[in-house]
A and B are shown apart, each in its own frame.
Chain A
Amino acid sequence: MLDALDKDLLKAVAGLEKIPKGAYNIRKNGKLLGRQTSANIKIETNDEGTGIVITIAPNTQNESVHIPVILSEAGLHDVVYNSFVVGENSDVTIIAGCGIHCGGDQKEGHEGVHKFTIHPNARMTYIEKHYAFGSGKGKRTLNPTTQVVLKENAHAEMILEQIGGVDIAKRINEATLDDGASLMIKENVLTESNQTAESHNEIRLNGKDCSANLIARSVLKGNSKQDFIAVMEARNKCYGHIECDAIIMDNATSDTIPSLKARHPDAELTHEASIGKIADDQLMKLMSLGLTYDEAVNRIIQGFLKAS
C-alpha cells in the first residue's frame, strides 16, 4: 500500500513510519489512499467531493487524527477543501502536512484549504508540515489556507512548518476569536536557493478576554525571498502579540509587516520584529566550544526554528 517514497514523505511531514493507529485519512496524488475513523472521530468526503469533513465528538479526550497528503505524480496540482469540527470540551491533536516528491521537469503542487470550527471549551493542537524533495526541476508549490473560528473559551495551538524544498509557497492564516478564546500560532519557514514564501495572517480578536500569539521564525538562504504580513485587529478587551524574527543569509531578502489595529480602548496589542544575520557573538560562542563555523550556523538555525 505504501511504497518507499510514500514512507519517506509520510515520515517527513507527519512523523509516521507506517499507517497510524486511530483515525486517519491519507491522500496520495489526488486520491484517497486510506481512511480510518474511530468511535469519536468521523471522517467523511464532503458533498462536493472536493475534500473531507472531520467531525470530532464533544468530550473527546486525548485523541489524534492524521491527514497527510503526498504527491509524487508529475504535473499534478492537487486542491482540497477540508473542514474540521471540534466538539465542545474535547482535547485533540490533528496532524496534517503535505510532502511532495518531484522527479521530473513538470511542476507539482498542493493547495489545502482547511476550515476549523472549535466549539466552546475545546482544545485543539494542529501540526502541519510541508516538505518537498526530489531531483526533478519542476517547481513544487504549496499554498495552504487555514481559517479558524474559536468559540467561547476554546483554545487552539497551530504549529505550521515549511521545512525545505518548497519552491513557491503562499500561506493564508485567518482566525476569529470569541469571548475567552485563545490562539497560539507558531510558524517556521526555511527557504533557500530561489524559493519564495509568503505568509498572510489576519487575526480578529472579537471576544472579551480572548488572546492570540503569533510567533513566526524565518530562515532565508541563497537568493530566497520571504514576505510575512500579519494583521491583528482587536474589537474587545483582549490581548494580542505578534513576534516575527528572520535570519537572512547570503543574498536573501525579507519583508516583514506586522500591523496592529486597536478598535477597543481596553485592547492590548504588542509586536516585536527583527531581521538580521546570525549574531557574531552566537557564532563565536559555539566555535569556542569546538564547533566549526558551519556546524555553529546549523546549530543556531535549528534552535531558532524550534524556538517559536
Chain B
Amino acid sequence: MLTINNLSFIVENQEQNEKKTILDKFNYTFEHGKFYGITGPNGSGKTTLAKTIMGINNLTSGQIIFDGVDITQHSITDRSNAGITYSFQNPARFKGISFRQLLSIAAQTDDESTLMKIVARVGICSLDFLDKQVDSKLSGGEIKKIELATTIARNPKLAIYDEPDTGIDLWTIGPMIDLLKKEQKNHQTTTIVVSHNKNFLEAADVILILKKGQFVYEGDLDGAMPMLTDLSTCAAPDFCEGENDVRCFR
C-alpha cells in the first residue's frame, strides 16, 4: 500500500559546506492493514522518514507510491486527502483554536453528534476537552491526546504516529495501544508507530529497526530483542568519541 523506492534525504549545511545523509537510498514496502513499529537510536532518521512520507520533508531523491499512485510530488494537503495522516511528535499549539475546531477541521464537519462520536471512539479524551484551547496552557500529555484524536478523526488509510506516548501517563499508554489496535482491526488502518516504548513495539505485527538511514532489522519483537538490548549500539554516533570519552552515555 506504501512503497518507498530509493528514497534519500540529505541535509545541506551551507555555512560549513557540508552534507549529511539522513536516509540513504531507502527501500521498503508497507503492507495494507499491518501495524508497524519503527524504532532505532536517536538520530537514526525515524522522524525524518515519517515526515517524508507525509510530505513535510521534501526528499532529495527517490519515489513514494501510495495505493498505486506516485505521490512523490504531492503536497501535504493532497497526501492527507489521499488518506495519509501524521501524528506529530511535538504537536503544534495555536492561539485561538480549540480542540473542537481542530477536530472539526479533521473530520470536515462541525456536527456536534459526529464530534461526540469521534471523542467516544478515541476514548482517551474526555468530553470537557472539546472546548479547551490548543495552546501553551495544555500539558504535554493533553496535547498528545488531542493530536491522536485529530489523527483518528481523519479516518486514515495510513496513520503514522511519531512517539505517541511522549508526555502520556502510564495509565493511558495501555488504552492508547488498545485504541490503535482497534483502529487497525476495525478500519484496516495501516499503522506505523515510531516509538522507543516496548509496549508499543509488543503491539506491532512487524518491528523495523532503523540505523544510519536504513532498516537493519525486519521481523517480530523476539527477533529484535538482541539488537534492542545490545549496549554496544551507540545512541549518539554523531558526537560520541568512543567509550573512553567522558561524554559516553553507556
The count of residues in chain A whose C-beta lies closer than 8 Å to any C-beta of chain B is 23
Fill in one digit per residue for A231-254: 1 if any B CB lies within 8 Å of its CB, else 0: 000000000000001000000000
Known: A281-B88, A299-B105, A303-B101. Contact between A287 and B76, CB under 8 A?
yes
A307-B154 in contact (CB<8A): no
CB distance from B75 to the nearest CB of A (A): 7
**Chain A residue nearest in CB terms to B91:** A285
Asked whether any CB of chain A lies closer than 8 Å to the CB of B139, the reply is no
Known: A303-B95, A307-B95. Contact between A290 and B105, CB under 8 A?
yes
Collect the chain A residues with CB atoms within 8 Å of residue B133's CB.
307
Asked whether any CB of chain B lies closer than 8 Å to the CB of A279, the reply is yes
CB distance from A292 to the nearest CB of B (A): 5
| Stretch of B78-86, B183-191, B201-209 on the interface side | B78-86
Fill in one digit per residue for B69-106: 1 if any A CB lies within 8 Å of its CB, else 0: 00000011100110001101011101111000110011
Of the residues A217, A282, A287, A302, contact of B77 by C-beta under 8 Å: A287
Collect the chain B residues with CB atoms within 8 Å of residue A4's CB.
none
Interface residues of A in 265-308 (CB under 8 A from B): 279, 281-282, 284-293, 299-300, 302-307
A289-B80 in contact (CB<8A): yes
A284-B76 in contact (CB<8A): yes
Interface class of chain A by DSSP: helix
A289-B96 in contact (CB<8A): no
B95-A281 in contact (CB<8A): no
Q: Which of the listed residues A290, A292, A299, A307 has the most CB atoms from chain B within 10 Å of its own CB? A: A290
Collect the chain A residues with CB atoms within 8 Å of residue B101's CB.
303
Collect the chain B residues with CB atoms within 8 Å of residue A305's CB.
96
In the complex, what distance in Å separates the CA atom of A285 from the CA atom of B85? 10
Fill in one digit per residue for B222-240: 1 if any A CB lies within 8 Å of its CB, else 0: 0000000000000000000
Asked whether any CB of chain A lies closer than 8 Å to the CB of B54, the reply is yes
CB distance from B161 to the nearest CB of A (A): 12
Asked whether any CB of chain A lies closer than 8 Å to the CB of B172, the reply is no
In the complex, what distance in Å separates the CA atom of A292 from the CA atom of B81? 10
A289-B106 in contact (CB<8A): yes
B96-A307 in contact (CB<8A): yes
In the complex, what distance in Å separates the CA atom of A286 from the CA atom of B90? 14
A281-B105 in contact (CB<8A): no
Collect the chain B residues with CB atoms within 8 Å of residue A290's CB.
77, 80-81, 105-106, 108, 154
Interface residues of B in 93-134 (CB under 8 A from A): 94-97, 101-102, 105-106, 108, 133
Of the residues B75, B135, B154, contact of A289 by C-beta under 8 Å: B154
In the complex, what distance in Å separates the CA atom of A287 from the CA atom of B75? 9
In the complex, what distance in Å separates the CA atom of A282 from the CA atom of B101? 14
**Chain A residue nearest in CB terms to B56:** A284
CB distance from A190 to the nearest CB of B (A): 13
In the complex, what distance in Å separates the CA atom of A217 from the CA atom of B96? 11
Fill in one digit per residue for B137-169: 1 if any A CB lies within 8 Å of its CB, else 0: 000000000000010001000000000000000
B75-A288 in contact (CB<8A): no
B96-A287 in contact (CB<8A): no
**Chain A residue nearest in CB terms to B95:** A307
B81-A302 in contact (CB<8A): no
Interface residues of B in 20-57 (CB under 8 A from A): 54, 56
Q: Which of the listed residues A282, A293, A302 has the most CB atoms from chain B within 10 Å of its own CB? A: A282
Collect the chain A residues with CB atoms within 8 Å of residue B95's CB.
217, 245, 303-304, 307
CB distance from B73 to the nearest CB of A (A): 15
Of the residues A279, A285, A292, A302, contact of B96 by C-beta under 8 Å: A302
In the complex, what distance in Å separates the CA atom of A217 from the CA atom of B95? 10
In the complex, what distance in Å separates the CA atom of A221 from the CA atom of B193? 39
Collect the chain B residues with CB atoms within 8 Å of residue A281's CB.
88, 90-92
Collect the chain A residues with CB atoms within 8 Å of residue B96's CB.
302-307
In the complex, what distance in Å separates the CA atom of A307 from the CA atom of B135? 10
A289-B92 in contact (CB<8A): no
Give 12 A-B pairs besides A287-B77, A288-B56, A303-B101 with Cβ atoms closer than 8 angstroms: A281-B92, A284-B76, A284-B88, A285-B88, A289-B150, A290-B108, A292-B77, A299-B97, A304-B94, A304-B96, A305-B96, A306-B96
12 A-B residue pairs with CB within 8 Å: A281-B88, A285-B88, A288-B54, A288-B76, A289-B154, A290-B80, A290-B154, A293-B75, A293-B77, A303-B94, A303-B101, A306-B96
Give 8 closest A-B pairs by Cβ, nearest first: A303-B96, A307-B96, A307-B95, A281-B92, A287-B76, A303-B97, A285-B92, A282-B92
